[in-house]
Structure 1
Amino acid sequence: MNRRRNVWISAAAAVLSALLVYGVYLLQLRQVEFQETVAVIVPNRFVPAGERITKDMLGVKQVAKASYNSEMVLDVEAVNGMEAVVPLGQGEPLLQWKVDKFRLLPSRTQSTFQIPRDYVLSVSNGIRAGDKVVLYLTGEEIVSERLFEQPVTVASVKSSANIEIDDTTNPNLMSLASGDKEKMYASRRDANGMIDYINLNLQEEQWLELDSLCKAGKARIVIAYSSQSLDIMDAAYTQTEAGS
């Protein structure tokens, strides 16, 4: 009986010893990982949203390899000339989603189309460059409906004098980028000018669909401001707080 008990005790001791050795190994491995660092790009000063980034604004900071994620920027050249989408804190690792090169330019699958005036029944005067808009199709002989499932981006809105419509003392894009809803609202309220030309970033198939529906003159579109512009701003600031 004692012999069997001694065997179990020895086996248990061997298992515990093995677990202890394995635990020490994992602890040492974790310490080695923390000791390894990665050089990431950080702003050397506070950068407000909307400001264009230059090399002299950036520095390098060593972070533990265990803390590194793929969104962190490693090369200064990769962000040189881009705009800050949200405010960038001094010394905080620069993340790819926080910067963009040309936010008003179309993506790889899009082109910028100026919508012919005779295609448009009405356009909200509160629309500004950078906003998300929803298109609705309407006409006497058709059933009114939403044209595209997803909102599209406004590249520019101009008056008949080919002047961008905005409040020059409080540009809408700066307020949108800075996350200031009050100033963004004020820029729409104080901007003067009737929208005569509107440019939208559309995929080729979207433009072809819109053109085929409107070129006969039986249908026109209503362009409405989408609250998704504000949702994107809120999402960006949520990610900023989460990453802080």
Structure 2
Amino acid sequence: MSGAKKLVVGNWKLQGSRSANAELLQGLLAADLSASAPRADVAVCPPFVYLAEVVSALQGSAIAVGSQDVSAQGQGAFTGEVSAAMVRELGARYAIVGHSERRSYHGESDQLVADKAKAALSHGLVPIVCVGETLAERESGETEAVVGRQLQAVIDTLGADLARVVVAYEPVWAIGTGKTASPEQAQAVHAFLRARLTAAQADAARVPLLYGGSVKPDNAAELFAQSDIDGGLIGGASLKAADFAAIARAA
């Protein structure tokens, strides 16, 4: 058990428009998540183009903002990239790195993900490092080998800064599929990750470990009650104010 404060992060993915975002944020502000603040932090991660607007809309509220990705590069001839310094300047606090969709669709390696986490930290962002296995990898008994390898790149790259990250376990087979790892399955992987982090650095025992993969209001409380699950990285349910607020309260 980490003793870490709970954290619930909404990943909007490639969703949203100015009108839809305004409606969603209005609903989240009306839900008044400030009552949860002593026990849980809450954040939303919109597409890059809406970051400034979302930061402005949530100014003074209990909800922080993060980006869905960040470049490992600081500046230069890298067309289409967005640096950690740019994201931080807009007022974001977090940056998701290594989401399975980035690893799969964009071929991101474990080392690139670790480099992105380092870039985020160097500019005052908290990286949310995603790890997770495919269904084939789980069925062949490779879950610990896969997530262990993904995490090790971060451990090796960050060194003394390891304790400043957040880690999110997202089984690829449970993202957007409606399938969810049972609380026991999720806890087993989280306990493995906790042990790896603690072995690497004593302070890293308190790194928040989030679960992501079809988290909903009706399963959030049971998942978050597990001893090594410190919150969630929420996909589809984060696009509905009532559902996301309910999940945040469950934390």
If each structure's helix is expressed as a fraction of its own residues, which one has the higher value? 2
If each structure's strand is expressed as a fraction of its own residues, which one has the higher value? 1
TM-score, normalised with respect to structure 1: 0.23
Higher relative contact order (CA 8 A, sep 6+): 2
TM-score, normalised with respect to structure 2: 0.22
